Structure 1
Amino acid sequence: MSIKKHIPNTLTSCSLLSGCIATVMAFNGQYWWVVIFVIIAAIFDFSDGFAARLLKAYSPMGKELDSLSDMVSFGVAPSVMIFHFLNENVAAISRNSLVQEYLPYIAFLIAIFSALRLAKFNVDERQSDSFIGLNTPANALFWVSFCCALSGQDRFPSVMDIQPYISGGLVYIVIGAVIVFSTLLTAELPMFSLKVKSWGFKGNELRYFLALFMVAMLIFFGILGIAAGILLYIALSILDNRNKKLDSAA
């Protein structure tokens, strides 16, 4: 087999390595580096599929390796980060020792539902050009940017200087969001793919609008802009799905 056939799996392995490093950074509470390595993992994750299509190097092994890599980079790494964040801040909502010890483990719902989402994706033939449910990279990018911004470790230059304040209400929001996003991972909700097949504006209107919005949010709000962009992505997918249903019913 020529060396080019190994390129997609090598890129996938680089994504997995980035996810492993992100997980270590999350255990150490170095949230900014978690964001960096999850973004690197996402870039490699995009590149392996692009390389496989370009080189016509598809393989059953590559498909399975991609899911295993995604599980670590976009399932385990953000879960550990959420766990660390809750473990550091759960005292804001309770002084009970049992609550403080065990409540942070709710973070691993993200890992569980990411695994369910990836297993479902591998056997669901409806998801070749779009997604059913929130994809794991988008979910991971939301969480790592959100927790990084809340922790005050954001190093991205921005117009607004946001000083985070961890309140009990904010901790409850994080816990509630864990449950909501876990549900979104396996929900029967059609969501448009973020992968661009052509660079033309027609057919990519939502993608370009989302990209411009995220850039604007990054400029004004720093790393929190990524989380805002993911929320917009979910909202646009819901609206797009609603419009398609109305068009088909007309």
Structure 2
Amino acid sequence: MKNYIPNTLTSLNLLSGCIASVMAFHGKFLCVVAWVIVAAIFDFCDGFTARLLKAYSPLGKELDSLADMVSFGVAPAIAVFTFLSMNMHVISGNAFVVAYLPYVAFLLTVFSAMRLAKFNVDTRQTSSFMGLNTPANAMFWISLSYGLANMPVVSAMLIYTVLFGIVLFSLLMVSEIPMFAFKIKNLKFAGNEYRYILVIGTIIMLIAAEVVLHSFILGIAGAVLFYIALSLISNRKTA
């Protein structure tokens, strides 16, 4: 019976990702944020439960990647696609550009798939990541989509920045840049410095986003940027 528990949690991750995708198509960005966060919680719990119960299986490994593909690869891309579709007229009056340029958002899905496949076969990623992990990428885009969709005015520069960001983050996911993992083996500060700094920084980002922008959800995107910056700093110190 215990062998079914992790796979059940993984399946709930997948279900949450499906719901988030539907919400994204309808432009309900707050619901997208909520359901992707729920998916991330199930994603954490399935791995934790598998380790706790020693209920590992090849099926569970494959199912986990497939669930992550939907929750962290498809749903965020749909959210970005919907945002761009709603605002593409800002940069062009051309019907072809307005209709088809938003599909650039699905580069996030394609590179998420490549990232997940790479993770499954890369033995270097047992205690750290090579490239930006898909949950962090997803959290950035769903929070950014929510924040941008609620802005009173969307400028052309903002749309171009989003398009550039899609390409940049897609490449980050398959890059060879080492990034620290979130797993904490013990609560000691030594060895977990950057993880504790990330937690403190995330809290500050959420509070600052609420005070300045009146949207703490945008602080999630800031926290992901902070995570990337911390990873780059830690790499320079260990080089």
**In 1: Cα distance, 2:59 partner to 2:170 partner:** 27
Q: Which residue of 1 aligns with 2:97?
A: 99
Q: Which residue of 1 aligns with 2:213?
A: none
Aligned match for 2:29, one of 13, 28, 31: 31
The yes-or-no answer on 1:197 pairing with 2:195 is no
The yes-or-no answer on 1:137 pairing with 2:135 is yes
**In 1: Cα distance, 2:190 partner to 2:42 partner:** 26
Answer yes or no: is the 8 Å Cα contact 1:149–1:164 preserved in 2: no
Aligned match for 1:171, one of 153, 159, 172: 159
Secondary structure of 2:3's aligned partner? helix
1:83 shift after superposition = 0.4
Answer yes or no: is the 8 Å Cα contact 1:86–1:104 preserved in 2: yes
Answer yes or no: is the 8 Å Cα contact 1:15–1:69 preserved in 2: yes
Q: Which residue of 2 aligns with 1:217?
A: 205
Secondary structure of 1:4's aligned partner? coil
Q: Which residue of 1 aligns with 2:221?
A: 227
1:164 shift after superposition = 4.5
Answer yes or no: is the 8 Å Cα contact 1:196–1:204 preserved in 2: yes
Aligned-CA RMSD value:
0.9
Secondary structure of 2:108's aligned partner? helix
**In 2: Cα distance, 1:197 partner to 1:29 partner:** 39
1:196 shift after superposition = 2.0
* Structure 1: runs of 5+ lacking an equivalent: 153-162, 246-250
Amino acid at match of 2:229: A
**In 1: Cα distance, 2:205 partner to 2:49 partner:** 30
Q: Which residue of 2 aligns with 1:115?
A: 113
The yes-or-no answer on 1:182 pairing with 2:180 is no
Change in Cα spacing, 1:164 to 1:193, as seen in structure 2 (3 Å) is farther
1:195 shift after superposition = 2.1
**In 2: Cα distance, 1:83 partner to 1:196 partner:** 35
* Structure 2: runs of 5+ lacking an equivalent: 210-215
The yes-or-no answer on 1:72 pairing with 2:60 is no
Secondary structure of 2:141's aligned partner? helix
The one-character-per-residue Cα deviations of 1:10-57 (angstroms, maximum 9, x if unpaired) are 111111111000000000000000000001101110111111111001
Q: How does 1:140-151 map to 2 (within 5 A)?
A: 140-151=138-149
1:181 shift after superposition = 0.2
Q: How does 1:10-49 map to 2 (within 5 A)?
A: 10-49=8-47
The one-character-per-residue Cα deviations of 1:119-156 (angstroms, maximum 9, x if unpaired) are 0100000000000000000000000001101111xxxx
Amino acid at match of 1:179: V
**In 1: Cα distance, 2:169 partner to 2:197 partner:** 23
**In 2: Cα distance, 1:71 partner to 1:94 partner:** 32
**Number of corresponding residues:** 233
Secondary structure of 1:134's aligned partner? coil
1:217 shift after superposition = 1.4
- What is the percent sequence identity of the aligned residues? 59
**In 2: Cα distance, 1:23 partner to 1:102 partner:** 19
Amino acid at match of 1:104: P
**In 1: Cα distance, 2:185 partner to 2:5 partner:** 20
